[in-house]
């Protein structure tokens, strides 16, 4: 699975690594992706989500039910 967040949609960014001699090579800026398991009370089951660290903090503030609604609104299965 690619490194993307199910809640925020954060994906890797691409750029160049520039050496001391100013030679450029490709590199990737990956988001801080974590796998996290949450209890979803409305469905009576656990869900395993692939989230960025920022999305985990968002779920802590808005709650898992609202986050699940946002994920479904993005068209991703929960």
> What is the value of pTM for the model shown?
0.86
Distances 72 to 7, 31, 53 between C-alpha atoms, Å: 9, 21, 19
Q: Using only C-alpha atoms, what is the Rg of the chain?
A: 16
Residue range 53-73, pLDDT digits in tens: 999 999 999 999 999 999 999
pLDDT for the residue 2: 77
Residue range 16-54, pLDDT digits in tens: 999 999 999 999 999 999 999 999 999 999 999 999 999
Residue 70 CA to residue 64 CA, distance in Å, equals 10
């Amino acid at each position: 699975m690619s490194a993307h967040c199910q809640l925020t949609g954060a994906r890797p960014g691409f750029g160049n690594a520039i050496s001391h001699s100013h030679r450029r090579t490709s590199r990737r800026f990956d988001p801080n992706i974590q796998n996290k398991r949450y209890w979803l009370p409305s469905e009576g089951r656990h869900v395993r989500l692939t989230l960025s660290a920022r999305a985990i903090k968002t779920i802590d503030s808005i709650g898992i039910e609202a986050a699940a609604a946002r994920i479904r609104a993005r068209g991703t299965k929960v």
